[in-house]
Structure 1
């Protein structure tokens, strides 16, 4: 507490001594924040506006902001191209792959954290570093011989290869930040190690689990490469469905923008409502020690 007060007092003194430098820094920081926000918001705003335009208006720079909005693109996407089924496919694949990855990854992260299994953690990290495109050919060969290509199972398994390392590394940092005294006290009270994990540590690790689950769900929801190669006509997910609006002769930009808005909206809603869990989970263990 004393150090904090002293630090604040020193910062106040520095501001009074160098007011021009402080103002310049504040202006620079504000400018950078505005640029970063615009960098992310402008493409989203353009996408939403473009989804209400005709293909002719999209190429007319005079109608960038002032135009007659239409809903034909959304009607075309939702009504004529079986897009609702593709939304359902994405939910099924993302939910199953995320849930199974958490069931496997959370206990694995706890074991690696508590028993210092550094070599196993490196193997998990190696699986995360390997480019997914290098696995598509062997995966397709194996799953095609098993007769799995085109089903939900092959998509779930392929996504889990990436989601399990994400879950393990997020949860490892979270378990590292938890004091050992919690487990020791629960063991003294008569719980087994598994009971201490299920009844004490697991409820306390909900923010980390939520973070791992949200990030895993977002990755699975947005994955294009695996679904393009391994999905079938009835298991196609949203990213591949958006790609279907690109043909050899033309590109339906209005429909692509409407489909992209529909695909992006659930992720934005999830991120807005779960941002506190994401921040707390990603920063877990940062102040350990």
Structure 2
């Protein structure tokens, strides 16, 4: 007995030619949702990119052209602002200062924060985790006056050490908070198997857990570096003339009487571009590290 299936693609007409199967049309609501999603995505991208685009254009203008609305997009570009930033104001020194403070504070925070996060994760140290979370909540501006008083008495204000320590206060809880979630997502059975094979708990941590947590450490390190690179408040109060970082150096373009918008935008571009390049090439680590532990259990 032959069963005729009306939905098969081999149905033929009276002329013997195959008849194409009609695909079901997508509901109007689904298409409207896709259009809305694309439009919303374009609006968000424009909202985020527009200030950066304006900053780049303004960095290539003179102050007169910046105030002239008729030259918003059509103007004669000049690189005088960048020459002023990179050559006359010696911004390469400020770039090195920012890089050094960000690198050292991030490295020390990783050295201290990763083992601490592992201990809190494996030994369920909930009270310690609560203290770390409180350190993340406390605003840094509330600590500036005590820090300045203590470090000034220790003759440390104006040095790299005080900047590194102040940046570690925010970077260390951030790294611990991220790595705790990452260690929670790693199965404990791997370490137990390694200990059965003869490794000590520290050896299992070094040989098994650490290699598996590279993505989480990369995420924590990148976010910590970005915070330190962009930090303005701590460096403004605690840095000196020889340890001034880029965000503080940008503030020099703002005077009591006027603002050098061209130089300010050029300096802001110099600060922004390295971080954008780092974020662009490391976004996969940031995404994988931030979503670690989201599906645990």
Tell me the equivalent position of 1:219: 227
Deviation of the 1:82 alpha carbon: 1.6
Are residue 167 (structure 1) and residue 175 (structure 2) matched?
Answer: yes
Q: Separation in 2 of the partners of 1:66 and 1:260?
A: 22
Query: What does 1:4-153 correspond to in 2, within 5 Å?
Result: 19-153=27-161
Q: Separation in 2 of the partners of 1:268 and 1:284?
A: 23
Are residue 272 (structure 1) and residue 269 (structure 2) matched?
Answer: no
Once the two structures are superposed, residues 48-79 of structure 1 have per-residue CA deviations (whole angstroms, 9 ceiling, x without a partner) of 11100000000111111110000000000111
Q: Separation in 1 of the partners of 2:25 and 2:193?
A: 52
Tell me the equivalent position of 1:10: none
Choose 1 or 2 for highest CA Rg: 2
Q: Separation in 2 of the partners of 1:98 and 1:73?
A: 32
Between structures 1 and 2, the one with greater helix share: 1
Deviation of the 1:17 alpha carbon: 7.6
Tell me, which stretches of 5 or more residues in structure 2 are unaligned?
1-22
Segments of 4+ moved more than 2 angstroms: 15-18
Tell me the equivalent position of 2:252: 244
Please report the TM-score for the alignment, with normalisation by the length of structure 2. 0.91
Could you say what the CA RMSD is over the residues aligned between the two structures, in angstroms? Answer: 1.1
Tell me, which stretches of 5 or more residues in structure 1 are unaligned?
1-14
Query: What does 1:138-217 correspond to in 2, within 5 Å?
Result: 138-217=146-225
Please report the TM-score for the alignment, with normalisation by the length of structure 1. 0.94
Q: Separation in 2 of the partners of 1:207 and 1:18?
A: 40
* Aligned length in residues: 275
Once the two structures are superposed, residues 76-118 of structure 1 have per-residue CA deviations (whole angstroms, 9 ceiling, x without a partner) of 0111112110000000100000000000110000000000011
3-state DSSP class of the match of 2:60? coil
Once the two structures are superposed, residues 168-222 of structure 1 have per-residue CA deviations (whole angstroms, 9 ceiling, x without a partner) of 0110111000001100010011111011001111011000000000000000000
Deviation of the 1:281 alpha carbon: 0.1
